Amino acid sequence: MRNNPIDVLLFLLLKIVKFFDGRQTDLKYFDPEAVKNILVVSSTAIGDTLLSTPAIRSVRERYPQARIVAHFNIKNMELFENNPHIDEIIPYHGGYKKIFRTIMKFRKHKFDLALIFHGNEPQATPMAYLSGARFIVKVPNTSEYRFLLSNINQTLQWEDLTHGVEQRLKTAELAGCRISDKKMVLPIAKDGESAVNKFLENSGIRATDTIIGFQAGASTLSRMWFPDRFAELGRRLINSYPELKIIITGSPQEYEHCRKIADAIGEKTIVSAGKIPLKYIPALIKRFKALVTGDTGIMHIAVAVGTPVIALFAVADAKKSGPYYDMEKHIVIQKERTCEPCASKKCKHQTCMENISTDEVFDAISSYLKSEISNARY
């Protein structure tokens, strides 16, 4: 139970409301044929939402005539506006911001079913319940708000699940969905290629140039590789492969961080951070020959658009949040955590990432580039 007074009050009010809720909400009463309006919740980061897209596709395949409304984070929802399996997006503003307005929008849709694929508590489950949806499913279902769920009987914890994609698909299966495809869904924006081509041309990069991407930032310091190692890697790659160009990606807030790395590398390196709208990032990443990245949303974008990644993992477990398919394309460098218990996203240090050397990353990307060059000759 949480100590925040608002959280405590919300919990108690929901307990009372649920007690007087006369609807039969257990899954044994669930009739898929009666479903007309569906809410899907994946309201956290870019990567988390991308991992939800295979499950959302399975929902669309099971309920082709239903109206599917997504609840996505307002910071990244533009990435998903072209998703063919969604009819509408209602933004999540973070915490309790605009919660009453959001709930009112929810209730206009008269949802029959809500699937929580990924969301922060105490907002995700209470808001799904307050949307008016009769049936609500979520995996794992161990939070203090599980009494609001329709799958309350059999408990599943994070430890019982494998990859994030599978966790979300398990949720979809509870609603009668069959799994046909586990690949993520991320259509390229209609004008994305032309916008990226213009940016690259203005940056002195030709259509025939080979581009390697560096994603230098991450959502937490503990998942970031060191800027001096990115710089050393960049210099070594350009010295070994003079035809290469390097693009350093990142958010607008990461521009200066990326700029310092680019300056340390020198020639043939540009920064895209803050210069390209988020909705065009998939088109940019698709142009890369490969991407060097930590556990980031950009990594998942690369996997979704088919760009090979050299993924650097230490704090996180790549088996749960790394590349999940087309593994012949990707190289994962996984190191052990250096201390336990792990503070994970709350850790303020880069100690674990110290175990990933520049030599190791250079050798990994060199093996990939040599293979590509060899294949191109034949």
- List, for residues 75-127, the tens digit of each pLDDT value: 999 999 999 999 999 999 999 999 999 999 999 999 999 999 999 888 999 99
Do 272 and 291 touch, CB atoms closer than 8 A? no
Do 302 and 325 touch, CB atoms closer than 8 A? no
Categorize the per-residue pLDDT at 298 as very low, low, confident or very high, splitting at 50, 70 and 90: very high
- Average pLDDT value for the chain: 93
- Which pLDDT score is estimated for 373? 58
Do 278 and 76 touch, CB atoms closer than 8 A? yes
Q: Is the pLDDT of residue 203 over 80?
A: yes
| Lowest-pLDDT range of 155-164, 271-280, 292-301 | 155-164
First to last CA, the chain: 62
Q: Is the pLDDT of residue 374 over 70?
A: no
Positions of CATH 3.40.50.2000 in the chain:
5-174, 192-377
What order do you get walking across the sheet with 309-313 strand by strand?
A: 269-271, 244-249, 210-215, 290-293, 309-313, 331-334
**One-letter amino acid of 18:** K
Class at the top of the CATH hierarchy for domain 192-377:
alpha beta
Q: Is the pLDDT of residue 366 over 70?
A: yes
How many C-alpha atoms does 326 have within 13 Å on its Cβ side?
Answer: 16
Tokens at 237, concatenated: 């790659």
Q: What are the strands, taking DSSP E only, across the chain?
A: 37-42, 67-73, 88-92, 113-118, 135-138, 210-215, 244-249, 269-271, 290-293, 309-313, 331-334
Categorize the per-residue pLDDT at 156 as very low, low, confident or very high, splitting at 50, 70 and 90: confident
- Which pLDDT score is estimated for 338? 79
Q: Residues 285-292: what's their mean pLDDT?
A: 98
Categorize the per-residue pLDDT at 2 as very low, low, confident or very high, splitting at 50, 70 and 90: low
Q: Kindly state the greatest CA–CA separation across the chain.
A: 72
Question: Looking at the domain that runs over 5-174, which CATH code has it been given?
Answer: 3.40.50.2000
Do 56 and 70 touch, CB atoms closer than 8 A? yes
Length of the chain: 378
Do 172 and 59 touch, CB atoms closer than 8 A? yes
